[in-house]
Amino acid sequence: MMLGETGARVRKWLVLTPMTGRIALVCAISAVGLPTAVRAAIDGVVTGCEFTPYVPFVLVSAIVLRWWQAALVSLAAVAIMGGIFEGSLLHPTPCFMPAAGTFLGTSAIMIGIASVLRRLVAPFPNTVTDQPEGGIVFSLDKGHVWANWYGLATPVRLGTRNEVSYMMQDFLAQEELAKRLNRQP
């Protein structure tokens, strides 16, 4: 695989619409449940407030989920750490609040960077070559015509239905005229 194709595939993966629905829910539950299990397994060994097992899962959540879903993963981790491992939230240990604040700040930075990168990478055209014939799709939504190219995540609004219909008819008429003129010697 050539480097250009690899870059295009990575770009495509980064700008794809983040997971939604049941898959997003399973991902979010796993992003909280797996590090919680790790933290429970090492609870007797580690002392103090330890959010470290959650950090890579928040990063993955920031990449594959919407920003607000990744933020919920971070908040759920703090709630679990505050309620399960550190006792009641009414009687927090001295290090819980600073550790939770640091973890939430780190999570916000990771989520922010993932969101910004997704927006920065999205405008660049995707050159993946696995496009079917006729690589453009037109759709109509609330009276506006949209064009979407296979492999690109963001559709382009072309105009109202009437405007686009007129432009298409004009284009076809010009094409027909060009064919007739090219046939004559």
Establish if 126 belongs to a structural domain.
no
DSSP symbols for 134-177 = S-EEEEEETTEEEEEETT-SS-EEEEEHHHHHHHHHHHHHHHHH
Establish if 111 belongs to a structural domain.
yes
Establish if 157 belongs to a structural domain.
yes
Quote the radius of gyration of the chain (alpha carbons, Å): 25
Domain co-membership, 67 together with 97: yes
Residue found under tokens 């290090």:
95
Domain co-membership, 80 together with 143: no
Tell which phi-psi region holds residue 87, choosing left (phi > 0), alpha (psi between -120 and 50) or beta.
left
Predicted confidence at residue 108, as pLDDT, reads: 93
Query: What is the Cα–Cα distance from 146 to 164, expressed in whole angstroms?
Result: 10
pTM: 0.55
What is the chain's pLDDT, residue by residue, as a tens digit (185 residues)? 445 556 656 666 655 656 678 888 888 888 888 888 887 777 655 555 677 788 888 988 888 888 888 999 999 888 887 776 655 554 456 677 788 888 899 999 999 998 888 777 765 554 444 545 557 888 888 888 888 877 665 778 888 989 989 988 998 999 998 888 888 66
Beta pairing partners, 141? 144
Domain co-membership, 20 together with 106: yes
Collapsed DSSP state (helix, strand, coil) of residue 155: coil
Predicted confidence at residue 110, as pLDDT, reads: 92
Domain co-membership, 8 together with 95: yes
Cβ neighbour number for residue 151 with a 10 Å cutoff: 17
Domain co-membership, 38 together with 107: yes
- Say how many domains are in the chain: 2
CA angle 24, 29, 33 (to 5 degrees): 150
Establish if 106 belongs to a structural domain.
yes
Which residue, of 67, 96, 121, is where some domain finishes?
Answer: 121
Predicted confidence at residue 129, as pLDDT, reads: 46
Tell which phi-psi region holds residue 62, choosing left (phi > 0), alpha (psi between -120 and 50) or beta.
alpha
Domain span including residue 58: 3-121
Domain co-membership, 145 together with 172: yes
Using alpha carbons, select from 117, 104, 100, 165 the residue that is nearest to residue 138. 165
Establish if 140 belongs to a structural domain.
yes
